[in-house]
Structure 1
Amino acid sequence: MAEKYRVGIIGRTDRGNYGHGLDSVWREIDRAQVIAVADDDERGRWSARSRTGAERAYSDYREMLEQEQLDIVAVAPRWMNEHKDMMLAAAEHGCHIYTEKPFCRDLTEADEIVAACEMRHLKLAIAHQTRWTPTLDVVKREISKGLIGRVLEIRGRGKEDARRGGGEDLWVLGSHVLDLMRVFGGDPQTCYATVLENGEPVTGSHVREGNEGIGPLAGDAINAMYTLPEGATGYFGSHRGTAGDPSRFGIQVFGSEGVVEFLTGHLAPCHVLRDSSWSPGRSRKEWVPISSNGVGKPETLPRTGLHGGNVLAVNDLIDCIGNPEQQPKCSMYDARWTVEMIAGVFESHRTGGPVTLPLKQRENPLTLL
């Protein structure tokens, strides 16, 4: 095992930048050292070098990969139109990867990335930071012990703001929610969905180039249903301009004896309602907080937001690099499943009925409308 893992960071100033702290996290990782950064924007490049303590800076990430003997590469830009090329280049040079979400633009790209990493026995973790929050393990354990009885439904919502609600929300923020749905419900078996634009079913005429490098995109309202193992049903919805205050962004797990609400983020709020009617107004039962210490117990860990999640994720990735049999808590396979669930929404709408997951059709369904 390397004494200190040599890290390279890829950013794109004004085109996804450095994601949600995928550059700054390495300052707190004792087992890693930032060797170089790459950014084709000169001012952004030198700012990143100063911010990260990198020894060198490059205008082209390919040159960085050629010149430096790196162990790990952070693919930091939020925009995903170059994610595939960046990850394939990193894999070709034998580098493990920590990447910003969304993973990539379609399932053909996802398959290429997974195959490239598998070929070289590389590990990849994606920055769904909630996967590493200690509260998640507590909630999973308590649900398995019968906290809310038998799980019947899992409901997820995006942020549903005035700009991104609908298809963009599904990609950018829904990726977190769909990943959590799999955590509690398992791998979905089918998807049935409708995609609307101004109240009308989306057609080829609605398809446009999405913001932030998403690729083909359509829809200001998404309604999706997933069949999950053991009889539960998952739902995801996002309608533009209908955001809640406070936000509904997250999931609710409905069981025969109550409801768990789990929001996104490191140590984000989590509560349980032990009420089989799911109606506190009628039953007069109250929501009880769940912390990393258990149900109804106060949180004693510091709330460090996305940064705290990144620290846990990167340390987990490094642990997995040293263990050939271990995958990160949110691995390349989990990342591909998220793209699978998103693509399933558009493929179901395109075909007009339920589709089986994983999809046989791997192209972006919106290009086939």
Structure 2
Amino acid sequence: MTFRAAVIGCGRIGSTIDDEQVNRPQFRYPWAHAPAVIEAQGIELIAGSDVHPEQLDDFRSRWGVSALYTDYLEMIKQEQPDLVCVTTKTVERSEVVIKSAEAGVKAIYATKPMCRSLAEADEMIEACQKNNTILAIACHKNWSPWFQVCLRTIREGQIGSFMSMVCNYSWNLANGHSHTLSLFRQFADSPAKWVFGRMNSDEAAKTDKDLSGNGMIYYENGIQGFLNSGGWLNIDFIGKDGWISARNEHADFEFWSRHPSTREPIRRQFPNPKRPKSSQQAAIEGLVENLREGTTPLCPGEYGREALEIAIGLRESHRRGGQKIDLPLADRSLSLG
């Protein structure tokens, strides 16, 4: 069976972002949702929706899609997609996800950040559960073949007991670091318990706008995560007897452990995936498998909500002078972005 997919929001993330990356050969494409669906196995791109007619015209010329709508609910009614990719503006995302679930869509793949407020995140998850809709958040590093190999290597015990994760990059917390925090959640395999943070700007921390900063996340199983501003998007996964580092915006993976006899530190060949593909394409193919088997995606709505909750918690910690903030947050009206 070939599933049917549609894109809601035919702009940058839905369609054109790959145009910006032509001089960055370290990245594997596609990143945009539409070409990722086209490249993926077991699914076809059948429709698109956008409130801007000029973006629909471009979508048609790029991807050869003729079923185009300015009303996404009409598109769902007429085209009956199994999967919709939601790449609208953040302020619109919760409403689109909820109404798509209520309209009977089987799976929703919503770009990050999931939404602006914790209340919205709760409502999105509740609506999808009520309507038996799979909700996945497009923090697509969770599906990356390289990070999946990294995770398997850690779970095999090849760096000893897994202890901590460190990301160095100056992303904003809600938007960019949704990727990092969803990946941390997957690797920790445990919910976050508490956080504390220090933002890069006192003035920015007074507002509800997205912002950059530093912080620590403590997970219920004792694993710790750290966000540091600066660097070239390096992520270190640290064990008792070694570590794996994703370097230079994930272009290189470095793997260190101990010699089995001498216990000296040795650099080892990272077991690169045999069939590399873009993480976005891998995510779409993962959702095809979820649709077929009724399984949970590698970045479900709960991970997206936790990423937002951690980001808000880090800002709240700064507002309270570096106080430790327990999760989940009681005030669901808190927002960021």
**TM-score normalised by structure 1 residue count:** 0.76
Aligned equivalent of 1:272: 255
Pair 1:37–1:29, CA change in 2 (3 A): same
2:331 to 361, 364, 368: 361
Pair 1:359–1:289, CA change in 2 (3 A): farther
2:214 to 223, 226, 236: 223
Aligned equivalent of 2:28: none
Pair 1:14–1:174, CA change in 2 (3 A): closer
Unaligned runs of 5+ in 1: 208-215, 277-282, 294-299
2:179 to 165, 170, 176: 176
Aligned equivalent of 1:7: 5
Q: How does 1:339-354 map to 2 (within 5 A)?
A: 339-352=308-321, 353-354=323-324
CA deviation map 1:229-287 (0-9, x unaligned): 3433221122xxx4x3xx1x14212222222213598x7422122379xxxxxx99564
2:285 to 308, 315, 333: 315
1:38 to 45, 49, 64: 49
Amino acid at match of 1:292: N
Work out the CA distance in 1 between the residues paired with 2:33 and 2:12: 15
Q: How does 1:167-316 map to 2 (within 5 A)?
A: 169-185=172-188, 186-197=190-201, 200=202, 204=206, 207=207, 216-217=208-209, 219-220=211-212, 222-238=213-229, 242=230, 244=231, 247=232, 249-262=233-246, 268-274=251-257, 287-292=267-272, 300-302=274-276, 304=277, 308-316=278-286
Identity %: 27
> CA contact under 8 A between 1:7 and 1:35: conserved in structure 2?
yes
CA deviation map 1:90-137 (0-9, x unaligned): 111111211222211121111111011000111122222221223333
Amino acid at match of 2:311: I
Work out the CA distance in 2 between the residues paired with 1:68 and 1:218: 36
CA deviation map 1:47-101 (0-9, x unaligned): 1123233231112323323433222111124x42211121112111111211222
CA-atom RMSD, angstroms?
2.9
Work out the CA distance in 2 between the residues paired with 1:141 and 1:15: 29
Pair 1:24–1:94, CA change in 2 (3 A): same
CA deviation map 1:148-174 (0-9, x unaligned): 22333321123x2xxxx5xxx222221
CA deviation map 1:140-195 (0-9, x unaligned): 3332333222333321123x2xxxx5xxx222221111122222223211111122
CA deviation map 1:23-61 (0-9, x unaligned): 112223453333321112222101112323323111232
> CA contact under 8 A between 2:2 and 2:42: conserved in structure 1?
yes
Amino acid at match of 1:184: F
**TM-score normalised by structure 2 residue count:** 0.83
Range with bigger deviation, 113-122 or 356-365? 356-365
2:130 to 116, 119, 138: 119
> CA contact under 8 A between 1:18 and 1:76: conserved in structure 2?
no
1:56 to 67, 76, 79: 67
Q: Following superposition, which runs of at least 4 residues in structure 1 exceed 4 angstroms of deviation?
A: 14-19, 200-203, 283-287
> CA contact under 8 A between 1:41 and 1:59: conserved in structure 2?
yes
Unaligned runs of 5+ in 2: 18-30
Work out the CA distance in 1 between the residues paired with 2:78 and 2:193: 45
Pair 1:263–1:116, CA change in 2 (3 A): farther
Task: State the SS of the aligned residue for 2:159.
Answer: coil
